[in-house]
Amino acid sequence: MIHFEAIRLDREGRIEEAALLYEEALLAGERTLELFLNLAILYWQATDFGFSTHHRLGPGFVATAGKRFPSLLREAGRAYPGSTEVRFWQKYIPWADLGEYFAPEDCRKLLLEDPSVLVPVVYLFNEREGREYREKAVELLQRCWEDGTTRSRYVASVIGGVVTRIEWADARGKGS
């Protein structure tokens, strides 16, 4: 299957090649939730200046990525209307990029709807009272390290950053 090769390229950091194969897989009818989300988040990350510079992404690719990730999230929502992870990313990205309102209660509801989908912890663990989600964050971090795609690396980087801030605050005696 094409998307397995796309995942391999994604894990290797060969972003443009991975995106091409993810797109090819979609066209071939491999419309899995994983494929939609991997490609959408890969494209979203490609719009980040640091990410695109690090991976030497061409301006045409970055422009396409900026147009494509919102439509992929909409497609994923239509194909998987019950997916808590799709709904999470549809709210999280506008919050992360534009500061749109995203209530912690909404994340908590998503987490309760499907406790096997831990990605809402990314947002909750980043909240001031997020220490209560530490165990779930560690579990999610482990899953992300095992997966290694751009989507997982993003999640791992957010969780890792929060852990570092908490440990730093604790070391300075200012933990909450």
Which tens digits make up the pLDDT trace of 35-59?
A: 999 999 999 999 999 999 999 999 9
Q: Give mean pLDDT, residues 126-135.
A: 72
CA distances (Å), 31 to each of 21, 28, 36, 72, 134, in order?
13, 8, 7, 11, 33
pLDDT-wise least confident of 6-15, 57-66, 104-113, 159-168: 159-168
pLDDT at res. 76 = 97
Average pLDDT of the chain, as a whole number: 90
Q: Which residue has the tokens 């990313």?
A: 89
* CA-atom Rg of the chain in angstroms: 16
Q: Residue 125 above 90 pLDDT?
A: no
**Would the CA dihedral through 161, 69, 38, 103 be positive or negative?**
positive
